[in-house]
Amino acid sequence: MTAWNEGDLVAHRFNPDLGPGRVVLADGRFVEVEFPEAETRLRFARGTDALVPLAEVGPLGRERSLAERLAAGAFDAPEEVTTRLEARRLEAIRQADGLGSFLGGRIRLFPHQLYAAERATRRDPVRWLFADEVGLGKTVEACLVANHLVRTGRARSVLVVAPATLTVQWLGELWRKFHSVYTLIDDKRLADVEREFGAGFNPFEAHRRAIVALETLVDRPDLARRAAEAGIDLLVVDEAHRLRRLPGRPGDPAYRVVAPLTAACRHVLLLTATPLAEDAHGFFRLLQLLRPDEIPEQVDPERWLAEGRPLPDCVSSTRRRDLEGLPPRVPRPVEIPEPAWHARHALERALLAAPADDPLQRRRKAERLERALGSGAALAGLLGRDEDEIAALARAADRDDPRLAWLCEHAPRWRERGEKTLLFVARRETLTWLREALSRRVQLRTGVFHEDLTPGQRDIEVAQFRLASGPSLLVSTEAGGEGRNFEFCTRIVLFDLPWDPMVVEQRIGRLDRIGRTRDVEIVYFRDPRGVDRLVCESLERIRLFEEPLGGLEPELLEIGAALRDAALALDAETLELPAGAPAIDPLRRAQQATETARGRLRSSAWDALHREPYTQGMAEAILARVPAELEELTEEVITSIAEIARLEVEQLGGRARWAIALGTQALFDSLPGVPAGASFLGSFDREEAVAAENEDFFASGHPLVEGLLGWYEDAPLGRVGALHLVDPEHEGFGIAAFYADGLETETITVDLRGRRRPEWERLLARRPLRSRRVRPETWARQPGFREAIARMATALPHDRTPLLLVAVRVSA
């Protein structure tokens, strides 16, 4: 294997028409070569066979042409030839303008997502606003577009800007679902860049696919400037409604750092909440970032809305009512007689009786109350050494907790029925206490999911939980409410109720997802009095247990604040709000504001102004365009290349599960993104891969798939061969040359008399391509074989170089 260095002069072994080339970049993974005569620059894997030193190309040391190899009988194995043809067909499907280039992700295929992604990418540059209702997959749509742009070469560098609370979720989503490795640009990474590349080096040059928190850009505006200077091809901005600019103002800090980036980047994707009519100005400001030429600075959104003018063709907004088959939420409130709550109420009374005369004391009192309502164990860490009485009440509350008793009765029944249950708690201390209590009282094995587990440990816990033989119940903190998919669970149990409705919504959202086929069963406990009763009734009034509350974040924040004030206003003896308490009205107003905003969302005036909106009637036609053979063809091609390359390949149980490893006999040491000795366990089947997130999905974008296809494209294997086809009406002998014609492959066949044979070309276009068993060495020994091949080759185009050349025999 030649070690290329910058400045080396080379030629392309299989495409000499490119002319002489010069190596302009050589690092540990790639070689980039400039071909001046062809006015092009190409990238190759480090160990490519496609390049040869220019000094070796010439009369004395030139590479033999395919025709010369064929005439000499230097045949490649038949499976290598057919694999090359099938790899070309696979690449055409993957790169085509149709849906093939959107299908690499570990996702179920939902037609509204494919429709939005395809619409967004049909004009160049891609500048689009995704404003779907919450839970319908805006993030997936953006990932589909990003993956498509990268796969088709329209974008090489990508930057995702998201709120700090969502950056890790984006990293996981891109890796688990789209095989894409991104780098989080935080203080630690910035320090690493400075140490490795020197002070002042642009971090977005070092990391061409990156994620950065919006808050980081606001705190360090110079980073946004450096991102613009790095020439980012694609910018993705999540929660774009946080970018605010009032009329006649320059905008808030978030707007001011992101707006110049949107102008500097060729492709831009904005993700936002469903637009409300009263926020017309903010909505139009986002559209102006995408299409400033179509929406002038002085546009009047209210007039636009009143006139019913269609919105620019740069926005999509799918609503739940546009889809069919979404399962309903089914609340299952658990009513337990009041005497069972005695110990918990005693603890609650003691905490409410504590004085709170200033804001600091009120905050401390609220925190103690909220922790205690989770468990006494969660409260223990906040108690002082002199609070023995409250500590004793906390231990008693846990010992006699009616929620625990109810779980001990019902959880074993769920296990016997083979049902999976996801149980949420707010605090890690509650999680530990609850798991130990369930194990001790009813010997119930439980899984665990919390923020202190490493990503690998989380994957293992979820994988074991999915197994029929695994735990029937998984206890999770709020870490399980971020980005994970637990739709396979029968139910969700809300062991405690956070005072922030958005946290409760995030919990339920782990089960309430498109693709779920059964009702979303939500179990929660209705304390007969006290803070929990107050929280429970508030959430029931805004119907959170019955339908999603996406797009209502401002109203829900108000409810959370009002609930905190109301909780502190409860009477310590009765555990009820006193009549006329000042905290009552703010809570009622917040609840009413939420209901009013929900009504406005349902009747959004913008709906009628979207161009070509998605409708359920489109679903069947969209799914019919999904290439039916894509997964099967990928499996056939990749496993064949792996075997040709002498990797260790083993088919396992399941529809399309394989174990593939770079063993000691492999023809290469490594591939881009695939280090020496790497091994993979995964599936080529989409549904199987979606169900097993801890295994690989061998599809477009996966490093092994891309590495093997790239290696075989450049390899000298499978370029000269022999095929024996069956057609009694068109018998004969000749050659077939296969040429690259864009993404397609053009076939030209010539017989012994130098005539073109279109009927043979139709035979060769059939799939699967079937050839009788061939012993090419016997063909090569036939008298006149060399001369016949040379003669027929002269009838082929002289100005084109074939990808492969085969001798063809057609007989009955």
User: Distance (Å, rounded) from C-alpha 342 to C-alpha 340?
Assistant: 6
Quote the crossing angle between the two packed helices 584-602 and 553-568, to the nearest 10°: 160
- CATH, range 110-317+606-616: 3.40.50.10810
Whole-number pLDDT of residue 497: 96
pLDDT mean over 147-160 = 91
pLDDT mean over 230-248 = 90
Closest to 736 (Cα-Cα) out of 717, 760, 767: 760
Local confidence band at 61 (pLDDT 50, 70, 90 cut-offs): very low
**pLDDT tens, position by position, 166-179:** 888 899 889 888 88
Whole-number pLDDT of residue 277: 47
Cis before 402 (ω within 30):
no
Q: Return the structure tokens found at 792.
A: 């027929």
> Regarding predicted confidence, which is higher, 53 or 647?
647
Whole-number pLDDT of residue 96: 63
Q: Return the structure tokens found at 548.
A: 């999603």
Q: Is 1-63 a domain of CATH 3.20.20.140?
A: no
Say yes or no to pLDDT of 245 above 90: no
pLDDT mean over 388-408 = 97
Q: Return the structure tokens found at 419.
A: 């049902």
Domain 329-602: CATH superfamily is: P-loop containing nucleotide triphosphate hydrolases (3.40.50.300)
Say yes or no to pLDDT of 58 above 60: no
- Considering 524-528, 652-656, 689-693, 715-719, the range whose residues carry the highest mean pLDDT is 524-528
Instruction: Name the residue ranges covered by the structural domains of the chain.
Output: 1-63, 110-317+606-616, 329-602, 720-811
Say yes or no to pLDDT of 60 above 50: no
Report in angstroms the alpha-carbon separations of 418 from 293, 488, 688, 779.
58, 12, 20, 63
pTM for the model stands at 0.75
Say yes or no to pLDDT of 768 above 90: no
Radius of gyration of the chain (CA): 32
1-63 and 329-602 share one fold: no
**pLDDT tens, position by position, 479-533:** 765 656 788 899 999 999 999 998 998 899 889 888 788 999 999 999 999 999 9
Report in angstroms the alpha-carbon separations of 39 from 352, 389, 709, 799, 800.
77, 82, 25, 18, 18
User: Distance (Å, rounded) from C-alpha 402 to C-alpha 346?
Assistant: 14
Cis before 768 (ω within 30):
yes
pLDDT mean over 680-698 = 89
> Regarding predicted confidence, which is higher, 256 or 612?
256
Say yes or no to pLDDT of 103 above 60: yes
295-304, 320-329, 351-360, 602-611: least confident range: 602-611
Say yes or no to pLDDT of 36 above 70: no
User: Distance (Å, rounded) from C-alpha 410 to C-alpha 405?
Assistant: 9
Residue recorded with tokens 């590479």: 63
412-416, 454-458, 619-623, 756-760: least confident range: 454-458
